[in-house]
Amino acid sequence: MNTKTIYKWDIDTETLPCDRVIDVPERTKFISASMQYDKLVIWGIVDPDEGRYQLRRIQLRGTGRDLGPKIGEFLATVQKLPNFIIHIFLPAETT
């Protein structure tokens, strides 16, 4: 069966810039990011019947900080505090 649903993942934001690695179903399509209950959350469309998982890297960068040589595709900008903005990127490669 080829059903789709939306999952969410909490992402740690204690240090910036940083990369985080999360375990997601294969072919997850990340669609959005926002703050929810004081935590950074990323949502993605997944096939809940997908039995295979993969590690995906999420890049978090602050405004005015170096993006680094291998910055991924932009996903979203979120505001954690009035003066703490996080820009989220998704590298093409898997980890």
pLDDT at 94 over 60: no
Q: How far apart are CA 84 and CA 44, in angstroms?
A: 24
Its pTM stands at 0.87
With contact defined as beta carbons under 8 Å apart, do 73 and 90 qualify? yes
Q: What is the pLDDT of residue 14?
A: 82
Mean pLDDT (the chain, rounded): 90
Q: Tell me: the pLDDT tens digits for 61-93?
A: 998 888 888 899 999 999 987 778 999 999 976
Domain range annotation of the chain: 5-90
Q: Tell me: the pLDDT tens digits for 24-71?
A: 999 999 999 999 998 999 999 999 888 899 999 999 999 888 888 889
